[in-house]
Structure 1
Amino acid sequence: MKITLIGVGKIKENYLAQAISEYSKRLGRYTKLEIIEVADEKTPDGASEAEELQIKNIEGERILKQIKDSSYCLALAIEGKMYDSVEFAEQLEKLRINGKSHLTFLIGGSLGLSGEVLKRADALISFSKMTFPHQLMRVILLEQVYRAYRITLGEPYHK
């Protein structure tokens, strides 16, 4: 299975880049991982709802251009379905068994994902009702995907 992560913005903090690198390396044992960063838009302080919508739409167009037609897309959205780690592992395994050979995870910018991106997604998933910085969410997602592989293969991993 191939996994693509499409995220808005560059990782600026070194500690996050190191964590992403570490989980990318670990995942290399199990899957081919590709991380695509699309440019983010600056959000002015006090931006109106219309300005925020425009920014999400611009970022959304950039995301949509990177999605392969044959890919099964999972968008990270607060309104998505929540799983515990075992359920998440089971869901990824079900997708693999059902012939989904390419999964693409979508992480929006600070304002979230556009309506068009959410429509394109095959599933919406949520890691919490809390909001996390989108850069940190990449680390959390990669760790959970790594954990899912370990669970599926019956390999030890801390609980």
Structure 2
Amino acid sequence: MTTISIICVGKIKEKYWNDAIAEYSKRLSRYCKLNIIEVPDEKTPDNAPEAIEEQIKKKEGDKILKALDPNGLVCALAIKGKKHTSESFSEFINNQGIRGVSHIQFVIGGSLGLSKEVLDRASAHISFSDMTFPHQMMRVILLEQVYRAYKILANEPYHK
């Protein structure tokens, strides 16, 4: 069984996001082993200059890099990444298993995005949209799409 890890910056405080995460985590338990690893976010001052924002991204990136399994495939969620349909995303996940990858790690950055070091470490960059989403929402969107991918791979019906 493949292990899917989501490495993300910050904790989710809102009950509605936590409820959605718990629901998709439960649904995914039939298909994969799921880990959600939260690394602490750094406080970003209002109107921080770009140099400070880069330092913050680097600090968060260092925490992400420490949380990664060196043997797992790293997929960074990034606006400039490859866009997939639900079907091609399911093929992407399936192809990793065919290649012998047993651990897929999806990385979601904090409010400032991902550091260059994390982007460089990633074997794949995946984009869900040209739009920016709050990282709490992105976690739910990612879980839903991973669940949809496994439903597609199992030839099981799922709402469109």
Partners of 1:16 and 1:60 in 2: how far apart?
A: 23
Give the partner amino acid of 2:159: H
Q: Deviation above 2 Å: which 4+ runs of structure 1?
A: none
Partners of 1:7 and 1:18 in 2: how far apart?
A: 17
Structure 2 counterpart of 1:32: 33
SS at match of 1:92: helix
Partners of 1:84 and 1:128 in 2: how far apart?
A: 11
Partners of 1:45 and 1:30 in 2: how far apart?
A: 42
Give TM-score, length-normalised by structure 2.
0.99
Structure 1 counterpart of 2:147: 146
CA RMSD of aligned residues (A): 0.4
Correspondence list, 1:6-85, <5 A = 6-85=7-86
Partners of 1:93 and 1:115 in 2: how far apart?
A: 28
Shift of 1:80: 0.2
Partners of 1:105 and 1:91 in 2: how far apart?
A: 13
Shift of 1:12: 1.0
Give the partner amino acid of 1:104: Q
Correspondence list, 1:99-118, <5 A = 99-118=100-119
Partners of 1:111 and 1:42 in 2: how far apart?
A: 11
SS at match of 1:60: helix
- 5+ residue gaps, structure 2, are none
Partners of 1:102 and 1:139 in 2: how far apart?
A: 20
Give the partner amino acid of 2:134: P
Partners of 1:136 and 1:14 in 2: how far apart?
A: 12
Give the partner amino acid of 2:48: A
Aligned length: 159
Shift of 1:73: 0.5
SS at match of 1:124: strand
- 5+ residue gaps, structure 1, are none
Partners of 1:97 and 1:152 in 2: how far apart?
A: 13
The question of 1:98 aligning with 2:84 is answered no
Shift of 1:151: 0.2
Partners of 2:136 and 2:10 in 1: how far apart?
A: 8
The question of 1:136 aligning with 2:137 is answered yes
Give TM-score, length-normalised by structure 1.
0.99
SS at match of 1:110: coil
